[in-house]
Amino acid sequence: MIIKPLGPALNCAGRVLDLSRPRVMGILNVTPDSFSDGGVLYSGANLALDKVLHRVEQMVSEGADIIDIGGESTRPGAAAVSSQEEQDRVLPVIERLARDFDVVLSVDTSNPQLMLAAAASGVGFINDVRALARPGAIEAVAATGLPACLMHMQGEPSSMQQAPAYADVVADVMAFLTQRIEACTKLGVARRNLVIDPGFGFGKSAQHNLQLLNRLDQLQSLHCPILVGLSRKSLIGQVLKRPVSERLAGSLALAAIAAMRGAVIFRVHDVRETADAVRLCTSVFKEQVE
């Protein structure tokens, strides 16, 4: 069954992101150790700004509506980085992209200090894998007035894939997200500014991920737009026995299923291909050519 996605709009620092149709968020990892593309934007030990600009130009030309900039790897087993190191990686990139590109910029961080600094530098969206759970994070988002994504994760990146367990993964994820929504609204974050992400691959087995995707439409009862990150995930490798470099077809299949289950923002590595896939899903649902 095809589920109609929610269709509000998000005000991303003056750029309006209309969610009446699916939107693609391109991944920009300015990290040396992210699971799929760690280090590809580096020359030796240093981030290469020319590579960053070329990659962003490519993603925007391919249809990215949002560029999600992250300075801390959250792959399974990843080590934490200091607040200062994360800011040093991310802020110069944000400042340059805000100057050179007319696109919504997102910062992928759990660091309240970086949230505030990124907002001052031109970011329009905050994407937090820890659902604003760190001290001061909710207050930081409230102060910026920006939309934010709350993601479910069981545990921390360093240990989250060590025998994750749930009574009912969908019910547990929904209960967690409900609690985080309530915590945010109590501290001044407008509900219209909240996006939710079930956290595929974050403290979940392959079976948990399959159950979540199959019942993703149930998250629509929380009345927040749904963001999904399924691109190149280990689920694809476990089901199809494909290495990271051969997971495009699996990523597109999962994106299409998520679109039919109500997801509206897709965080991906392969922008053009995903944009095509989710646009076709939308056209089938509407039975018209856009």
What gap in Å lies between CA 128 and CA 132, rounded to an integer?
Answer: 6
Q: Is 158 left (phi over 0), alpha (psi -120 to 50) or beta?
A: alpha
Give me the helices (H) in the chain, please: 49-61, 83-100, 112-121, 137-144, 169-186, 206-214, 234-240, 248-260, 271-286
**pTM of the predicted structure, to 2 decimals:** 0.91
Q: Which residues are annotated as catalytic?
A: 233, 267
Residue spans of the domains in the chain: they are: 9-286
pLDDT tens, per residue, the chain with 290 residues:
455 554 679 999 999 999 988 999 999 998 875 555 555 776 555 778 888 999 999 999 999 999 999 988 776 666 678 899 999 999 999 999 999 999 999 999 999 999 999 999 999 999 999 999 999 999 999 999 999 999 999 877 666 566 678 999 999 999 999 999 999 999 999 999 999 999 999 999 999 999 999 999 999 999 999 999 999 999 999 999 999 999 999 999 999 999 999 999 999 999 999 999 999 988 887 654 45
In CATH terms, the fold of domain 9-286 is: TIM Barrel (3.20.20)
Task: Tell me the β-bridge partners of 104.
Answer: 66
Q: How far is CA 143 from CA 78, 189, 248, in A?
A: 30, 8, 39
